[in-house]
Chain A
Amino acid sequence: AQTVTQSQPEMSVQEAETVTLSCTYDTSESDYYLFWYKQPPSRQMILVIRQEAYKQQNATENRFSVNFQKAAKSFSLKISDSQLGDAAMYFCAYRSAFTGNQFYFGTGTSLTVIP
């Protein structure tokens, strides 16, 4: 089974600053999808950004962008101009393009935004 590793259990950032959350994954597959989800204290998981492995261009959604390094199996999330509402648990997730629709999640990074 694929594994997803988030090595930073907790991170903090000053409001308006930039923070990068790390994610690595282990797979032997050539095509897959990667996601970042946000889970605020209200607990509903919200999609932040997604990346198709066959695309070389890094995905961007407003203040959120990723650094996808396929060879290194690395998928980090950069949050620019951090806002108080960005405080949440962030989960990295993997989905195979071949072997089904199961999502594999990391253990999460708790992000604190300091005013």
Chain B
Amino acid sequence: DAGVTQSPTHLIKTRGQQVTLRCSPKSGHDTVSWYQQALGQGPQFIFQYYEEEERQRGNFPDRFSGHQFPNYSSELNVNALLLGDSALYLCASSLAMSEGAGTQYFGPGTRLLVL
């Protein structure tokens, strides 16, 4: 059973550039959430995609955008990168119509460094 996968594992960019991160959900899942985890902090919710639409958004600027494809995979795009965008970006998948907790399963993350 394939778990959540993310690519790339590491990325180095310079200020002002744009970056795209990719995520494939766990087999059978249809919902993808993205989180930003700064060093020494807990993950912060960016947004969630379901049925190719942004379903919910956290307190992140419009520079952060996303997309979900018909196969449920997802991309996170960040424009006009700032030094403060350096973080571990986590993707989590879940099943929208699951009973109970709607547990999210996480990928290994993409470490983004902005210089």
Contacts and interface: CB of A to CB of B under 8 A. Distances in A.
B7 interface: no
B101 A45 contact: no
Given A101-B31, A102-B58, A106-B42, A47 B103 contact: yes
Tier of interface size on chain A: 20 to 34
Nearest to B31: A101
B42 A33 contact: no
Contact-residue bracket for chain B = 20 to 34
Interface string A40-68: 00111111001010000000000000000
A91 B42 contact: yes
B101 A95 contact: yes
B12 to A, nearest CB: 17
A115 interface: no
Given A52-B101, A103-B35, A108-B42, 17 more contacts: A33-B100, A35-B101, A43-B109, A44-B107, A45-B90, A46-B106, A47-B103, A50-B101, A100-B48, A100-B55, A101-B48, A101-B55, A101-B94, A102-B56, A102-B58, A103-B33, A103-B104
Interface of A: 4, 33, 35, 37, 42-47, 50, 52, 91, 93, 95, 100-108
18 contacts: A33-B100, A33-B101, A35-B103, A37-B106, A43-B88, A44-B109, A45-B106, A91-B42, A93-B42, A95-B102, A101-B33, A101-B56, A101-B102, A102-B45, A102-B58, A103-B43, A107-B41, A108-B41
